[in-house]
Structure 1
Amino acid sequence: MSARSETAATPGTGASREVAAAVSRWLAPVVEHGLPDGPARGRVTGHHLGYVRVLAWETGALRLTRGAGSIARDAADAVALVIPLYGTVRLAQDGRGACVESGQPALLDLRRAFSVEQRDRARVLVLRLPVHALHVPVAHLRSVTARALTPASGMAALLATVLPHLEQSAPRIPPAVGERLGGIVTELVAALVDELAEREERPSGTGRDRLVTGIREYIDRHLEDPELSAERIAAAHLISVRYLHRLFQGEGITVGRLIQRRRVEECARELARRGRVSPSVSVVAVRWGFGSAAHFSRAFKAVHGHAPQQWLRPADTPVTGAGPAVRAADGTAGSARAS
């Protein structure tokens, strides 16, 4: 999708209706509630940056709501980042309400009821982002909606600085660049959601240790599942993938490497039970989540520094060439010696 613009100027009455129509078309269906001192003039502009929709309006008193009826008709799978460029906007969702001042970012989940209200003239910038592109837990979104974020530092400060300039430049951005910028903005908003949710719910001390222990136990229980991944682990523990990786920064190993190492250990343990009925390397590898014997062999070498065939060599079998000790099938170390 190109980085194109669509503008509607209202030279006469009914500016709030124009804004409501643009919001319904670009963000999610809303109902406009006419205010007695509603504006006679207003301006609405819209742009596409890939799958990110950028909408800006400038108008006076305005009230828009999204209720259960409109949600039933159109379950928009998207969130909105709202930044007043000047003026004040009141947002309400999930039982919370916040007066969002100029330069303050705030979030709305377009899949649930909300309201947007301004009593005086304001210019408001809104970005619509697909929820599936954010890859953040639903619980995180619920905890951060309809809150005015003071952009003193972190992602809120970065977005408050960058997005107004991006909106001004959007009509001149080539389509290919717009696609990439949309992805970058999505990553920044996802990081903002994670940052806010983790600030409130981040476990400390014993709580963090319990979470890491629980994740390790979950990995051990699901080692045989070839679909085991960071995304699945994060979803099972109601945290984001980013936070999962952040937890394991202090563990000295990445989640992916931990899964691989544990699978190698279980394969090695099973293959060590040598005998006439011992399963083949390929059977054991697939049983513990590896796609093939070749995949297992590469993983084994990454963990132990040599191929599994060397590890399985009986201790009394000569090894050609000098080299380090080779672990025998019974777990003892056999010395490598020249033939």
Structure 2
Amino acid sequence: MLHAALVELDAIPIGGTGDDADYTGWARQFDLGFLTLTDVGSDPVRVVRAPRMLVGNQDDFYLLSIAQESSSSFNGNVRSQLRRGDAVLLDSTAPFQLSADEFAHHLVLTLPRADVARVMPVDRERVGRRIAAENPVLRVLRAAIAEICVGGERFDPDTLSELGHTVRELMFSVLRSDELADQAGVNGLLGHRAQLLRMRDFIRRHLAEPDLSAKTVAAAFGVSVRYVEIVFREGGTSPARHIRETRMEEARRSLASPRQRQRSIAAIARSVGIENPTVFTRMFRQFHDITPSEYRHSPAGESCRRSRAEGSPPG
């Protein structure tokens, strides 16, 4: 069960074989577009990412695991005791271990390492280190993903994808805020982070406008262009870069959507604010190393369409 839900893992029940008739466990997965959320619970268990699993393995993710019950983690030389609400960042390219002597329950956000690296560097010292439940940004993240777990099955895939934008940014905020030593610094980050989330939401809703820019955002929020640039810089990017990335990701998702299979590539380009098909093709190739037409007919595009049609997350 754990093997299929996360990255390749060995799950070893503590005090039993795992074949007992009264064994209790579950794994529920939500595709949030940019990342995956897994709600996983189990009787007392030790979950191991062993060195042998890394040989020739293509898993390349960061996992932010949020403990819903007391447990412990071991990553490299770092051992952390996790209380309810604590979180720990794990790296799928290195051995790690999670264990719980009583019922185990974690909410796990899985995000490609490359996506994290584009936004912020992650020091090895941060991996495996406990992020305290009292962290105010972590509290916001916990509340958001708890709502998704409760009502996720009622959301359609497009709604979950929109929520994924917010969850992804909150995850980055948790990692950044964990580096701040004083509460004033955290509060300052939260202020700009709230603005950043609102600005990114504005951008997603106005992608089809060709002239969308930092100036457009500044006018909509009644602030200066300089302020918009500062808010995005603290988020690890720039307004222009974020607009381009959001356009290319939305275009990728449209090309993979079974509901838009008959829609022309030029129409999809216009829907993300790019009126020139040649410019769209060049930009798409820069971001995804493949042309829009090639992606639509590629195994990745077909796999994504099948997953959406079947109501399951892409493999």
- So what's the TM-score if we normalise by structure 1? 0.49
Amino acid at match of 1:23: L
Out of 47, 60, 65, the residue aligned to residue 64 of structure 1 is 47
CA drift at 1:61: 1.0
Asked if residue 52 in structure 1 is aligned to residue 35 in structure 2, the reply is yes
Task: Indicate the structure with greater helix content.
Answer: 2
* 1:26 matches 2:5: yes
Whether 1:178 aligns to 2:154 is: no
Q: Tell whether 2:97 aligns with 1:118.
A: no
SS in 1 for 2:130: coil
The 8 Å contact of residues 2 and 27 in structure 2, kept in 1 or not, is answered as no
Q: How much has 1:112 moved relative to structure 2?
A: 1.3
Q: Distance in 2 between matches of 1:49 and 1:101?
A: 26
Separation (CA, whole Å) in 1 of partners of 2:38 and 2:232: 33
**Larger Rg belongs to:** 1
Cα distance change of structure 1 residues 126 and 246 upon mapping to structure 2, 3 Å threshold: closer
C-alpha change, 1:244 and 1:197, in structure 2 (3 Å) is farther
Identity %: 17
Residues 94 and 242 of structure 1, relative CA distance in 2, 3 Å threshold: farther
**What is the Cα-based RMSD across aligned positions, in Å?**
3.1
CA contact (8 A) 1:49 1:179 kept: yes
Are the equivalent residues in 2 in contact too, given 1:28–1:110 (CA < 8 A)?
Answer: yes
**How far apart, in 2, do the equivalents of 1:242 and 1:92 lie?**
37
Using a 3 Å threshold, how does the CA distance of structure 1 residues 151 and 34 change in structure 2: closer, same or farther? closer
Partners in 2 of 1:148 and 1:83 — Cα distance?
10
Secondary structure, in 3 states, of the residue corresponding to 1:166? helix
The Cα offsets for residues 141-185 of structure 1, whole Å up to 9 and x where unpaired, read as x23222222232432221122221222221111111111111221
What are the equivalent positions in structure 2 for 1:63-102 lying under 5 Å apart?
A: 63-85=46-68, 87-102=69-84
Q: Which residue matches 1:265?
A: none
Give the structure-2-normalised TM-score. Answer: 0.53
Structure 2, unpaired ranges of 5+: 183-228, 241-315
Residues 55, 126 of structure 1: 8 Å contact kept:
yes
Gap regions ≥5 residues in structure 1: 1-21, 201-240, 248-253, 257-339
Partner in structure 1 of residue 174 of structure 2: 192
1:236-278 Cα offsets, whole Å, 9 max, x none, are: xxxxx9999459xxxxxx999xxxxxxxxxxxxxxxxxxxxxx
Q: Provide the rounded CA distance (Å) in 2 between the counterparts of 1:242 and 1:23.
A: 41
What does 1:160-179 correspond to in 2, within 5 Å?
A: 160-179=142-161
Compute the displacement of 1:199 (Å). Answer: 4.5
For 2:40 and 2:230, locate their aligned partners in 1 and report how far apart those are by CA, in whole Å: 33
| 8 Å CA contact 2:144, 2:167 repeated in 1 | no
Counterpart residue number, 1:143: 125
Q: Which moved more, 1:29-38 or 1:171-180?
A: 29-38
- Counterpart of 2:225? none
Q: 1:242 to 1:23 in 2, by over 3 A?
A: farther
Note if contact 2:135-2:178 (Cα within 8 Å) is conserved in structure 1. no
**Equivalents in 2 of 1:138, 1:115: separation in Å?**
23
Deviation at 1:35, TM superposition (A): 2.7
Whether the aligned pair in 1 keeps the contact of 2:34 and 2:161 (CA below 8 Å) is yes
Change (3 A) 1:243 1:111: farther
The alpha-carbon deviation at position 44 of structure 1 amounts to 2.1
Cα distance in 2 for partners of 1:109, 1:63 equals: 17
Residue 35 in structure 1 maps to residue 35 in structure 2: no
Letter in 1 for 2:75: Q
CA contact (8 A) 2:14 2:46 kept: yes
Evaluate the alpha carbon distance shift between residue 176 and residue 112 of structure 1 in structure 2; reply closer, same or farther with a 3 A threshold.
same
Alignment CA distance shift 1:66-1:138 (3 Å): farther
How many residues of Structure 1 are paired with residues of Structure 2 in the alignment? 188
Residues 1:167 and 1:244: Cα distance change in structure 2 (over 3 Å): closer
Contact kept, 8 Å, 2:70 with 2:84, in 1: the verdict is yes
Q: How does 1:97-108 map to 2 (within 5 A)?
A: 97-108=79-90
Q: CA deviation at 1:137?
A: 4.5
